[in-house]
Structure 1
Amino acid sequence: MAASVTDLGYSATTVAEIVRRARTSRRTFYENFSDREACLVALLTETNRQAVDTISAAVDPSAAWETQIRQAVHAWITNAESQPAVMLSWIRDVPALGLAARRLQREVTESFITMIRTLSDTAELRSAGIAMVSRQRAIMLIGGLRELTAMTVESGGRISDVSAEAVDAAVALLGPPSAPGNQPAALSD
C-alpha cells in the first residue's frame, strides 16, 4: 500500500496493484483486509504509531524548552519526509473515507494531543513558565503542522524547507506567555 500510494496516490491504488507489489494473492489480501480502505487504515495506524514513538523519543526533557520544541518539530518533519506521499494521503484522503478512517483520524489526533501534552509537562518547561499545553493549543499545533506539510508536498517542495518556519511557529505557540504590555491586542468585532 505504501509503495502504491507513493507512486500512484491513494485514489489510483487498487487491490490488484497492492497484491502485485506485495507479490501475494487477492485471497491473502482479503484474509487480512476487507478492502483497500481497511488496508490504508492499517498502514496509517502503524505509520502514526511510529511517528508518535519517534517524536517522543527525540525530545530530551532536560533540554532547554526551545530545544525541546525544536527537537519535536524536527522529528515531525523527519518522519513526514520519510514518506511524504503517505503523509499527504493521511492528510488529504482520510477525511473523505468511511467510518473506520474517520475513527482512525480521531484516534490518531488524540494520540498526538496526548503526546504533545505529555512532552510539555516537564520540569524544564514549567521552570520557564510554560504550563502543560492545552488540548486546544495542541490541536492548533497539529493542524498547522499537518496543513503546512500537505501544502509543501503538494507544491513540490521538501518538508525540511519549511523547518525553520515550523519551529518558529511552534515556539511562538507553545512558549511562555508574553510579558505584560507585549500581549497582542484583542480582536474587535
Structure 2
Amino acid sequence: MSDAVAVDADGQGAQGFRDRLLDGLTRAIEERGYRDTTVADIVRNARTSKRTFYGEFASKEECFIALLRTNNDEMIVGIRDAVAPDADWDVQIRSAATAYVDHIASRTAITLSWIREAPALGAAALPLHRLAMGALTDMLVDLTDSPGFRRSGLPPISRPLALILLGGLRELTALTVEDGDDLRGILEPAVTAATAILGPRVTPA
C-alpha cells in the first residue's frame, strides 16, 4: 500500500481501513444478504474507495472470510470470558450457552451467512471452516477441563463429542434464524443437550 493511502482521514492506519471494510460488509449483509452484496456496497458503507478495498482484499470472498474469522474469534473470546472455571459445571454450561446465544442474537445475519453461505465458496472456505471448528472444539475441551468440572469428577469432553454438540447447535441456530424465530428460544435446548453430553454418565445396569 502506498504512503498516500497508508493513513485515512481520521489518522487510522491499515488496520483502521480493514476494520471499516469489515463493518461495511457486515452492514451490507444485514441489508442485502451476502450473495447480493457487491464491493460497491461494501465501500459505500465503509465510506472509502474500491482502491482502498483492493489494497486490503483481493475479492469480496476474501473480505467475507476475514469477517467470519473475526466474528468467530470474537464469539470464542466472549464465551471464554463469560465462564468462571471455578463455578459448578452446570453453571458453566449455562454461562457458555448464554454467551453463545447473546453473540449470535446480536449478529444473526452474519451467523446465518457463516453456516449457510460460506460452504458455497468451496475450497476457499474449507480452511476457515476447519479453523473455526477446531478453535471451538479446543474451547469446549478447555472449558470442561476446569476446576468446576474436575470437582464433580467429570472428564473433559472428547473432540468427537464436542464436534457432535457444535454441529447440532449450528444447525439449530441456522434453522431458527431462517424461520424468523427468537434466537433466545435455543438457549434451553442448548443447555439441555450440553448437560446430557457433558454431565454425569449413566452406566447401564
TM-score (norm 2): 0.85
Partner of 2:4: none
Residue 169 of structure 2 aligns to which amino acid in structure 1? L
Describe the SS at the equivalent of 1:40. Answer: helix
Matched, 1:20 2:6: no
Residue identity in the other structure for 1:139: L
| Alignment pair present for 1:61 and 2:85 | yes
Long gaps (5+) in structure 2 = 1-24
The answer to whether the 8 Å contact 1:15/1:26 transfers is yes
Instruction: Find the aligned partners of 2:97 and 2:136 in 1 and give their Cα distance.
Output: 12
Whether the aligned pair in 2 keeps the contact of 1:125 and 1:131 (CA below 8 Å) is yes
RMSD: 1.1
User: 1:9, 1:85 within 8 Å by CA — same for their partners in 2?
Assistant: yes
What CA distance in whole angstroms lies between the structure 2 residues aligned with 1:76 and 1:178? 27
Paired-residue identity, %: 44
Q: What is the aligned partner in structure 1 of residue 190 from structure 2?
A: 166
Deviations 1:130-155 (A, max 9, x none): 11100001101111111111000000
Letter in 1 for 2:101: I
SS, match of residue 34 in structure 1? coil
Q: Which amino acid aligns with 1:143?
A: G
Please give the alpha-carbon distance, in whole angstroms, between the structure 2 residues aligned to 1:152 and 1:28.
Answer: 36
Separation of aligned partners in 2, 1:111 and 1:167: 20
The match for 2:173 among 133, 149, 152 is 149
CA distance in 2, matches of 1:8, 1:158: 21
Higher relative contact order (CA closer than 8 Å, sequence separation 6+): 1
Give the TM-score normalised by structure 1.
0.92
- Secondary structure (helix, strand or coil) at the match of 2:125 reads helix
Task: Name the SS for the 2:134 alignment partner.
Answer: helix
Give the residue type in structure 1 aligned to 2:189: E
In the alignment, residue 129 of structure 1 is paired with which amino acid?
Answer: G
Partner secondary structure for residue 97 of structure 1: helix
Asked if residue 97 in structure 1 is aligned to residue 121 in structure 2, the reply is yes
Deviation readout 1:142-188 (Å, 9 max, x if unpaired): 1111111100000001211221111111111111111443xxxxxxx
Structure 1: 4+ residue segments shifted above 3 A: none
Judge conservation of contact 1:129–1:177 (CA < 8 Å) in 2: no
Greater Cα shift, 119-128 or 105-114: 119-128
Q: 2:58, 2:109 → 1: CA distance? A: 23
Alignment deviations for residues 18-62 of structure 1 (CA, whole Å, 9 cap, x no partner): 111111111111110000000001111111111110001100111
Matches within 5 A, 1:84-123: 84-123=108-147
Which residue does 1:186 correspond to in 2?
none
Q: Distance in 2 between matches of 1:141 and 1:31?
A: 39
